[in-house]
């Protein structure tokens, strides 16, 4: 029963690695394409905001399609776009190569999550999506560092070329092993958007925006914090980031178990522990055991909240779970962009050492919103098939 889910998880690893791998390749890309680091960094912004703007619409439209063909088509699109990135002669072609997969990522992630729930049933939704989420955690743990190592060894273009080959290979695996499926009781395009009329759904989307804004206010600049405040060199920083992602495997597992019981309580729990981890990072910079503990708490809760936020939106709209998942993806990417902007402003005005406190303040707002949402009674929502 879980084998198709593991296949989708492996495909999700390729999809998410395509989004995140560029973080470690930006300096090399900037040098090769003769642009500045901030200009190359706009490639990250382009990807995130494309997902945020178009994800819900594309997911609502493509949710009517047979899933096996759709997933294979998305992976082929990723293979082609990564090949284009590997051959990009200038920043404009590179931007187009990044735009294309940004359109496919929310469709794959939202519908793969819904497909996993269809396979195991709603009572085990958290655990099923945790298995899909395992591919995402692995993308952050291994995808970025491995991509950076490949870039250092044989060039950044090779990293995208290898991703292209892997995407085509996984498309072939899905073609051979993934069973055909269409989601039952599929809602119409218009009725899926109708769920946004609910103040409760609006609150859930806002909660995702706040959670991810808080996360990425600090996480975007974590490497800089470790380098400048703790005095670590690039190699040590790399191992720290890999460890940060590795503990996320534990957080992903815990999140999958707790979110099935009560999504909002799971959000409150992990947000509370995340505040502790974020606030303690800077004061712990000169004590390795304390710093390791702070990063472990932060890393585990961050990975858990990726999963919890996703399942929380799907459970809030059982009549259109894939569309709800796409709303979470859109809100998360919007939060990532906002968090990076807020973190930059905090550094400019308050200093690097204040990032953890600023991020914790935003997470505190998300806790207050979660408490408010727990007092709201969900109204029966209709969603025409």
Same domain, 217 and 310: yes
Q: Is the pTM of the predicted complex or chain greater than 0.85?
A: no
Domain final position from 177, 204, 237: 177
Q: Phi-psi region for residue 35, left (φ > 0), alpha (ψ -120 to 50) or beta?
A: beta
Share of the chain above pLDDT 90, in %: 30
Is 186 domain-assigned? no
Same domain, 72 and 39: yes
Same domain, 201 and 309: yes
| Local confidence band at 126 (pLDDT 50, 70, 90 cut-offs) | low
| Local confidence band at 52 (pLDDT 50, 70, 90 cut-offs) | confident
Task: Quote the pLDDT of residue 384.
Answer: 46
Same domain, 13 and 154: yes
Are 226 and 232 within 8 A, CB to CB? Answer: yes
The pLDDT of residue 184 is above 60: no
Range of the domain at 121: 1-177
Residue-wise pLDDT tens digits, 283-297? 998 888 999 999 999
How far is CA 220 from its chain centroid?
13
Tokens standing for residue 317: 């709209």
Are 44 and 174 within 8 A, CB to CB? Answer: no
Neighbours of 190 (CB within 10 A): 10
Write the CATH number for 122: 1.20.1250.20
State the chain's mean pLDDT as an integer.
83
Same domain, 118 and 214: no
Domain final position from 111, 142, 177: 177
Same domain, 173 and 218: no
Residue 274: exposed, middle, or buried by beta-carbon count in 10 A (0-12, 13-18, 19+)? buried
Number of folded domains that form the chain: 2
Sign of CA dihedral 188, 331, 138, 58: positive
Average pLDDT over residues 5-27: 83
Task: Quote the pLDDT of residue 223.
Answer: 74
Is 213 domain-assigned? yes
Biggest CA pair distance of the chain:
58
Domain final position from 177, 202, 217: 177
Strand segments, DSSP code E, in 6-133 are: none
Task: Quote the pLDDT of residue 125.
Answer: 66
Backbone angles phi, psi at 118, to 5 degrees: -60, -35
CA trace torsion 332, 336, 337, 342 (10° rounding): 130
Same domain, 242 and 332: yes
Least confident of 2-16, 142-156, 346-360: 142-156
In angstroms, the CA 142 to CA 14 distance is 11
Is 182 domain-assigned? no
């Amino acid at each position: 029963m879980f084998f198709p889910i593991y296949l989708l998880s492996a495909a999700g690893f390729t999809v998410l690695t395509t989004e995140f791998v560029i973080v470690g390749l930006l300096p090399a890309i900037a040098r090769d394409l003769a642009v500045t680091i901030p200009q190359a960094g706009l490639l990250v912004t382009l990807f995130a905001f494309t997902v945020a703007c178009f994800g819900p619409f594309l997911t609502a439209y493509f949710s009517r399609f047979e899933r096996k063909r759709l997933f294979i088509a998305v992976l082929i699109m990723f293979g082609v776009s990564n090949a284009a990135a590997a051959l990009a002669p200038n920043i404009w072609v590179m931007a187009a190569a990044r735009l294309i997969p940004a359109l496919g990522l929310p469709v794959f992630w939202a519908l793969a999550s819904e497909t996993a729930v269809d396979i195991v049933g709603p009572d085990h939704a958290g655990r099923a999506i945790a298995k899909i989420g395992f591919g995402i955690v692995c993308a952050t743990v291994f995808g970025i560092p491995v991509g950076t190592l490949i870039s250092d060894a044989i060039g950044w273009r090779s990293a995208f070329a290898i991703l292209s080959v892997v995407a085509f290979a996984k498309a072939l695996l899905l073609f051979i092993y993934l069973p055909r499926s269409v989601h039952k009781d599929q809602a119409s395009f218009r009725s899926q958007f109708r769920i946004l009329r609910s103040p409760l759904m609006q609150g859930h989307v806002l909660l995702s925006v706040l959670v991810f804004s808080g996360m990425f206010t600090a996480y975007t600049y974590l490497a800089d914090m470790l380098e400048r405040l703790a005095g670590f060199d690039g190699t040590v920083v790399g191992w720290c980031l890999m460890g940060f992602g590795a503990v996320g495997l534990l957080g992903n597992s815990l999140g999958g178990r707790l979110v099935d019981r009560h999504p909002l309580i799971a959000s409150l729990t992990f947000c509370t522990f995340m505040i502790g981890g974020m606030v303690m990072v800077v004061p712990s910079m000169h004590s390795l055991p304390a710093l390791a503990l702070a990063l472990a708490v932060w890393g585990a809760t961050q990975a858990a909240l990726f999963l919890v936020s996703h399942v929380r939106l799907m459970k809030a709209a059982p009549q259109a779970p894939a569309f709800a998942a796409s709303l979470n993806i859109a809100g998360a990417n919007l939060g990532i962009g906002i968090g990076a902007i807020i973190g930059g402003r905090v550094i400019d005005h308050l200093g690097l050492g204040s990032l953890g406190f600023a991020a914790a303040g935003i997470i505190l707002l998300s806790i207050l919103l979660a408490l408010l949402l727990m007092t709201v009674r969900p109204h029966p929502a209709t969603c025409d098939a």
